[in-house]
Amino acid sequence: MVLKKLAITTCVLLFTLFVKSQPNVALTPPMGWNSWNLFEEEVSDKLIRGIADAMVASGMARAGYQYIVLDDY
């Protein structure tokens, strides 16, 4: 058990050092909203623009959300 904890701690430390050495690594993961989860294929320009406005008005944009994925098959 001690060896397992030591291995995990070592991996986390090495990963942290690697990330800090990379200037182009994102500080947060890509954050966005996927339209398919709610509307499936019933999307429109007006609907998506309304969602974008709501993301800004609700503070999601300030929290780091910057993408709206238009997903349809």
User: What is the mean pLDDT of the segment spanning 37-53?
Assistant: 85
Q: Place 48 in a pLDDT band, splitting at 50, 70 and 90.
A: confident
Angle at 21 between CA 20 and CA 22, to 5 degrees: 90
Rounded to two decimals, the pTM is 0.51
CB 32 within 8 A of CB 55: no
CB 68 within 8 A of CB 38: no
CB 28 within 8 A of CB 64: yes
Residue closest to 52 by CA, chosen among 38, 37, 65, 36:
65
Residue 10 has pLDDT above 80, yes or no: yes
